[in-house]
């Protein structure tokens, strides 16, 4: 596998970062993930716009404009012979003697990208549907920033792993914020698609935005409001979205069966519509 690191394409084993990198010491950095389908990038302009915004919010200079990022991403995809999977991008505040305050302004950010082969379209879990649990949301107050500080999500996902399920939806004040690495949705019995409104409490999901644009085609009304755990557990349909899972049907929440325990018809329709969009590039 070939990795991109600070202007070079290197074999994985040769791509090394100094121990004084602020990503390593402080999780002082930002990341993004775009899906690759049929060799092209999915929703990539929006992912690169979010990367730019996240970097701006924590005062790291974006090392590339969107056109340059995309050129590098596609170069990496080609060098790895990737047709389906993910491109991971990360930018940290760079390498400097350990000190909480920012390093000098001329410190170069550390820029890294790798690819992961993964079946994103014909995912067997999407046929079967995912079982999930709810867990407490332990995160900080700026979850709109796609920071590499992911300890709370790591612990949430590990709870899911130990429960033998696929995802954990995080809960704050009785309402679902989002999944550990996904956006949470439910569909009510009267064809209303419900998801939490954007705020600093959650990441503005790129797949979320595309799915909301597709809702009308699936003849769904949209409500952006809080979802309580009780409402989620009793929903007609539920699903989660992300660059790596697209639209993932949920068939069980905390042991409560959703619908008839199979992926719901409206969720399946949304997944099909999203796949069409993703395939079209
Ligand atoms: N919410 C969180 C906390 C995430 O980590 C992710 C993706 O990794 C998402 C939502 C989904 O975002 P996107 O659809 O942009 O991948």
Structure confidence by residue, pLDDT tens digits, 159-180 = 999 999 999 999 999 999 999 9
Contact 117, 84 (CB under 8 A): yes
Query: Which pLDDT band holds residue 89 (cuts at 50, 70, 90)?
Result: very high
> What whole-number percentage of the chain has pLDDT above 70?
100
CATH 3.20.10.10 in the chain, residue ranges: 124-280
Closest-lying ligand 1 atom to the alpha carbon of residue 146 = 5
| DSSP assignment letter at 180 | T
* Nearest protein CA to atom 4 of ligand 1, as residue: 181
Question: 56 pLDDT exceeds 90?
Answer: yes
* Nearest protein CA to atom 2 of ligand 1, as residue: 181
How far is 126 from 49, CA to CA, in rounded Å? 28
Question: 66 pLDDT exceeds 80?
Answer: yes
Question: 70 pLDDT exceeds 90?
Answer: yes
pLDDT digits (tens, 9 = 90+) for 256-275: 999 999 999 999 999 999 99
Which residue of the set 118, 128, 141, 146 is catalytic? 146
Asked casually if ipTM beats, i.e. exceeds, 0.85, the reply is: yes
Please tell me the predicted confidence (pLDDT) of residue 17.
98
User: Does any ligand 1 atom lie closer than 6 A to the CB of residue 208?
Assistant: yes
**Exposure letters 229-241 (e unless 16+ CB within 10 A, then b):** bebbbebbbbbbb
Segment 104-114 shows an average pLDDT of 98
182 Cα: distance to centroid of ligand 1 (angstroms): 4
Closest-lying ligand 1 atom to the alpha carbon of residue 33 = 16
Question: 252 pLDDT exceeds 80?
Answer: yes
User: Does any ligand 1 atom lie closer than 6 A to the CB of residue 183?
Assistant: yes
16 is a catalytic site residue: no
Please tell me the predicted confidence (pLDDT) of residue 237.
98
User: Does any ligand 1 atom lie closer than 6 A to the CB of residue 42?
Assistant: no
Closest-lying ligand 1 atom to the alpha carbon of residue 241 = 14
**C-beta neighbour count of 81 within 10 angstroms:** 11
Query: Which pLDDT band holds residue 127 (cuts at 50, 70, 90)?
Result: very high
How far is 262 from 10, CA to CA, in rounded Å? 44
Contact 202, 225 (CB under 8 A): no
Fold for the domain defined by 124-280? D-amino Acid Aminotransferase; Chain A, domain 2 (3.20.10)
Closest-lying ligand 1 atom to the alpha carbon of residue 206 = 15
Query: Which pLDDT band holds residue 91 (cuts at 50, 70, 90)?
Result: very high
pLDDT digits (tens, 9 = 90+) for 196-214: 999 999 999 999 999 999 9
Question: 281 pLDDT exceeds 80?
Answer: no
* Nearest protein CA to atom 10 of ligand 1, as residue: 182
User: Does any ligand 1 atom lie closer than 6 A to the CB of residue 178?
Assistant: yes
How far is 254 from 189, CA to CA, in rounded Å? 20
| DSSP assignment letter at 103 | P
CATH 3.30.470.10 in the chain, residue ranges: 2-117
Q: What's the mean pLDDT when you consider all of the chain?
A: 98
Segment 218-226 shows an average pLDDT of 97
Q: Which CATH class is domain 2-117?
A: alpha beta
pTM score of the predicted model: 0.98
Question: 226 pLDDT exceeds 90?
Answer: yes
């Amino acid at each position: 596998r070939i990795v991109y690191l600070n202007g070079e394409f290197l074999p994985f084993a040769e791509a090394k970062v100094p121990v004084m990198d602020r990503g390593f010491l402080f999780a002082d950095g930002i990341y993004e993930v775009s899906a690759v389908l049929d060799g092209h990038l999915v929703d990539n302009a929006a992912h690169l716009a979010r990367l730019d915004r996240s970097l701006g919010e924590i005062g790291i200079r974006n090392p590339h404009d969107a056109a340059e990022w995309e050129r590098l991403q596609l170069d990496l995809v080609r060098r790895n012979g990737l047709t389906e999977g993910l491109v991971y991008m990360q930018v940290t505040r760079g390498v400097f003697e350990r000190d909480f305050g920012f390093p000098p302004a001329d410190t170069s950010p550390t820029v890294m990208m790798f690819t992961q082969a993964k079946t994103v379209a014909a995912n067997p879990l999407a046929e079967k549907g995912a079982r999930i649990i709810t867990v407490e949301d332990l995160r900080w107050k700026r979850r709109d920033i796609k920071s590499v500080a992911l300890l709370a999500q790591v612990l949430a996902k590990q709870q899911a792993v130990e429960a033998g399920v696929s995802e954990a939806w995080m809960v704050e004040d009785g309402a679902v914020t989002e999944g550990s690495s996904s956006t949470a949705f439910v569909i009510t019995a009267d064809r209303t698609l419900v998801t939490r409104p954007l705020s600093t409490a959650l990441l503005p999901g790129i797949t979320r935005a595309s799915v909301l644009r597709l809702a009308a085609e699936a003849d769904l009304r949209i409500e952006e409001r809080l979802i309580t755990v009780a409402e989620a557990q009793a929903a007609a349909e539920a699903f989660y979205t992300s660059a790596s899972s697209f639209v993932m049907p949920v068939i069980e929440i905390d042991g409560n069966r959703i619908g008839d325990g199979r992926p719901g018809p409206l969720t399946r329709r949304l997944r099909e519509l999203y796949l069409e969009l993703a395939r079209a590039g």
